[in-house]
Structure formats: C-alpha cells, structure tokens
Structure 1
Amino acid sequence: MKPVRKAIIPAAGLGTRFLPATKALAKEMLPIVDKPTIQFIIEEALASGIEDIVIVDGKSKRSIEDHFDSNPELENNLKEKGKDELLKLVEETTDINLYFIRQSHPRGLGDAVLTAKSFIGNEPFVVMLGDDLMTDEKPLTKQLIERYEQTGDSTLAVMNVPHDQVSEYGVIDPESEVTPGLHKVSSFVEKPKPEDAPSDLAIIGRYLLTPEIFEELEKTKPGKGNEVQLTDAIDTLNQRQHVYAHEFTGKRYDIGSKIGFLTTNIEFGLQHPQTGAALKTYLKDLAKKLD
C-alpha cells in the first residue's frame, strides 16, 4: 500500500458570493483574523503528514502564489527592525512543497481534480476544499489517512447536517457501519432535494481518493450546473471498489457563506491571544446595547 503524500486544493472558483471583495482578490486569501483561509487548509495538510501540495487555481489568483512566495524586501525589513516573531510567521509560509496548476475554465470540482492527474500519478491522495475549516484533537485529513491505512480504499469525510440543508451537499446512502463512525456506502447523491435524500450525512470537503478516480472522472459527463461533479465519479468508482465514509465529530466552520465567514472570524478572534480579551469585552457591551 502506497503512503498518502500528496494533496489537491481546488482554488479556481470565482468567489461570486463575496463580491465585490473577490473581484481582484482571491476568495481563498480572505483572512480569518490575520491568516488567509487557504493557509489553514495547508497547515492541516502538513500536520497530517502531507508532503506535496498542488493548488489548482484560475484567473485572478496571483495573490495566493505571492503569499506563499519569498518576499526578501519584507523579510529584510523585519530583520533590521528586530521583529523576529513576525519574521518567523512570514518565513513559515515559504518552506512548503507547493505547486500550482491552472484550471483554464471553471468546469466544476471534478474537472479541477482531473487537472492535477499528472501531479498525483499512481498514488492515493487527498482533496481539501477551502470552504471548510475543521478543528479536532487530530486533523481530519489525518483521520482519513488512518482510515485508508485500515481499508486501502477511498474514504470521504461526512457529517450530520440539518435535513432542510441537504440540498446544498453531496449526500451518502449508507449501507452499513463497518466500525463506529466508518460507513460502507451504497451510493452518493449530489445535492438531493430533502424529500429525496437517503440520509442527512453530507460530504464536507475532505476526500481521500485512490488514483482510479481519474479513470472515472475522464468518463464523467457534466451534471448539475453543466459541471463535472466529483460526487458522480465517486459514485461510479464505488461500483468497482469500496468507497467509505468517515463520520467527523469535530468542529466544522463553513466559510463559504458570508454569515459563516463572519461567525468564524468571531470565534477565531475570541481564541486569538492578541484579540480574544478585547473582542470578548466588545461583544458583551454590544449585547447589552442590543438588549
């Protein structure tokens, strides 16, 4: 069994839900307090043992590449002023095996993954979506890798969501629970209507896939939204080899919507050593005024 060493981070979306901010700035560079959202994803990958990361980007995403590139002028300025802690933060973003591939047209998540086929080769890999931040004692990506080491098969992260929200997700039809929290899946359904949903277990933005998925993606025709849906290819792959679903029990932050982005900033701001105390005081005072 080959080890899981590589990750794909799709980042070619237009970010229309955050216009006008994303007209010239990559959505993935919007900050949670003082750190771009995509940096949280990369840190999760590294903490899980991933060695090589490819970001599938698109037009107007240059800011992502610049963020993870060296900036000698800035680094020298920080050195001269003795700002060692800030210098360390800046240098940490450059010491990463990071690669970039351009998705020329936004044809969906499945197409973005297929774009990275040559980078992955014949190895298992993870796909990490930037709209979901996950926190747990053990990184979710690491949890998926450990499941793969047990089964040797593709494994997706799922989580219970409110029934009236299932149409926003890919949803699994669980066949049986192999071990606590690990489900053998009968089928995968992309964004079903609530009345048609086979369960409330939704796919939440972390996938561990075997390289056979590329054969299925190459055969998958565009589905909803005229896009190549990764869920459709996974459902077909499940007919050839088992695909499992790992139930995540940690904390998920949905930063793909404005309200999710704002509440995540508040929660992370309360945990941040430089902002936590002042923000807590502000929120208490604000609550009194709103009452």
Structure 2
Amino acid sequence: MEAHFAPTPALDQALEEKGEAGLLRESRALDDLGTRMTFVLQPQPLGLGHAVWCAREQVGDEPFAVLLPDDMVLDETPCLQQMVTAHSEVGGNLVAVEDVPCEHTSRYGIVDPGNGEVLGETGTLVTVKGLVEKPEPAAAPSTLSVIGRYILQPCVFELLDLKERGAGGEIQLTDALAGMIGDMPFHGLRFSGRRFDCGGKIGYLRANLAYAHDRNDLRDAVAALCKAFT
C-alpha cells in the first residue's frame, strides 16, 4: 500500500515524454496524495480495535474518522462527508448504519437502537443505546448494522488500551465503542447512497461494475461487456 502511493518520478517523466497528459495528471494526483499520508503497520492481526489503537499517536487528542476499505459507498456526496455534516449537529461518536437481512447479523456489529429517529441535514439519525459484535440472529437486538465508516472521540483509545478480547478472540472496536455509550452522544447515520461489501468476490465485482457504470467514459463499454455475458 505504501509503495502504491509513493512518488514515481521516473514514471511521470516517461509519461511526459510520451505526451500522455491524462495519465500524467492521474499519476501526479496519486503522488500528491501519497505525500499527505502516514502509514502505521499493525504488527499482529489482533482485530480492528487493535488496528485503530496502533494509530493512537498519529491521531492525538482530536476526533478522527475510521474508514474500512472493504466497504464502499457510491453516492454524489461521499458517505464520510455526510457524516461530517451530521457530526457537526450531534457531536460525540457517530457510525454509519444500514439494515441487513436478519440472517446476516453474525457478520456485523449490530446496533441496539434507542426510541425514535431524527431527520438530520444529511440523513436519519438513530440514537445508539447498545452495540453487539456479530450476534447470531436470535440474539441480535436489531438488524441495523454498523458499516465501515466511523467518526470517533479520542477517548476510545483508553478503552482499546485495555486490550480486552472479544468475538473471535480479537480486540474489537465495537466493544470499545459500547463501553462509551452513556458517557457522550452516540448516533448512527442512515446515510444516502449504495453500499457495497467488498469482503467477498461477488461484492467486489459488483462494486467495480457499479463504479465503472457511474463513469461517463466507461458506462457504455461496461454495459456492452455485461450484455456479452448474458
């Protein structure tokens, strides 16, 4: 990942010499993005909570966002931008949520919602009164799942620092967040947009097709390609 975003002066020079202006712009945009990134390695696969904890020194004492790359949300307004707007209204901790089929609750962190929902500027806000990591359908408090977008307060690191093990023997971010409920506002945002779970092959393929179809320069070619396989 770090190498992918590292500057590539030799490639940029070759593209410039060949007159590939469009590709050169894309390459330099990645170069610019890479210079603003800091990479922190998780030394052991001990769970999402541990991965977030590893970045504690980089985060400091400010609210911060967590984005999981296997969750993609396609919308004119990026999901995180919607959340930033909502967070300015309610503060505290905020997670993106959506309903999932009952039989899929064991794949996600599931929200125990409070009474009532409030329409915010960018979507419906749900009060979170509890969180359960990957419950079986019979034990799930709802079908409202947390997807991979969070805006969190830095005090979550104090709970993650305890390194308590949860589901799967891992340090779960969901468990740390559950420990903060009642201490500060905690909401879920029913965001606008289409979410793709890229953790499986079909979901990953579906996301690629949807994003390609959303681009003017690829839409017709992708439609023709799909038609060829029907």
Same fold (TM over 0.5): yes
| Structure 2 stretches lacking a partner, 5+ long | none
| Structure 1 stretches lacking a partner, 5+ long | 1-63
* Equivalent of residue 122 in structure 1, options 61, 67, 77: 61
- Greater relative CO (CA pairs within 8 A, separation 6+): 2
- Aligned match of 1:186: 129
In the TM superposition, residue 273 of structure 1 has moved relative to its aligned partner by 4.0
- More off after superposition, 264-273 vs 164-173: 264-273
- Aligned match of 1:215: 158
Q: How does 1:24-35 map to 2 (within 5 A)?
A: none
* Equivalent of residue 27 in structure 2, options 90, 100, 113: 90
Q: Confirm whether residue 104 of structure 1 aligns to residue 47 of structure 2.
A: no
- Report if aligned partners of 1:125, 1:210 keep a CA contact under 8 Å in 2: yes
Helix, strand or coil: the match of 1:280? Answer: helix
- Report if aligned partners of 1:222, 1:228 keep a CA contact under 8 Å in 2: yes
- The one-letter amino acid of 2:184's match is Q
- Report if aligned partners of 2:74, 2:195 keep a CA contact under 8 Å in 1: yes
In the TM superposition, residue 279 of structure 1 has moved relative to its aligned partner by 2.8
Structure 1's 251 and 271: CA in aligned 2 closer, same or farther, altered over 3 A?
A: same
- Aligned match of 1:55: none
How far apart in 2 are the matches of 1:277 and 1:127?
34
- Report if aligned partners of 2:74, 2:211 keep a CA contact under 8 Å in 1: no
How far apart in 2 are the matches of 1:150 and 1:279?
40
- The one-letter amino acid of 2:16's match is K
- The one-letter amino acid of 2:4's match is H
In the TM superposition, residue 133 of structure 1 has moved relative to its aligned partner by 0.8
Q: How does 1:162-241 map to 2 (within 5 A)?
A: 162-180=101-119, 181-241=124-184
In the TM superposition, residue 138 of structure 1 has moved relative to its aligned partner by 1.6
Helix, strand or coil: the match of 1:94? Answer: helix
Helix, strand or coil: the match of 1:183? Answer: strand
Q: Which runs of 4+ in 1 moved over 6 A?
A: none
Helix, strand or coil: the match of 1:241? Answer: coil
How far apart in 2 are the matches of 1:190 and 1:81?
53
- The one-letter amino acid of 2:211's match is F
- Report if aligned partners of 1:174, 1:186 keep a CA contact under 8 Å in 2: yes
How far apart in 2 are the matches of 1:87 and 1:213?
41
Q: Sequence identity, in percent?
A: 37
- More off after superposition, 202-211 vs 130-139: 130-139
In the TM superposition, residue 253 of structure 1 has moved relative to its aligned partner by 1.2
How far apart in 2 are the matches of 1:171 and 1:238?
14
| 1:212-259 Cα deviation digits (max 9, x unpaired) | 111111124111121100000000011322211111231101111011
How far apart in 2 are the matches of 1:133 and 1:199?
23
Q: TM-score, normalised by structure 2?
A: 0.92
- Aligned match of 1:144: 83
Structure 1's 220 and 185: CA in aligned 2 closer, same or farther, altered over 3 A?
A: farther
Structure 1's 220 and 175: CA in aligned 2 closer, same or farther, altered over 3 A?
A: farther
Helix, strand or coil: the match of 2:77? Answer: coil
- Report if aligned partners of 2:49, 2:171 keep a CA contact under 8 Å in 1: yes
How far apart in 2 are the matches of 1:249 and 1:76?
41
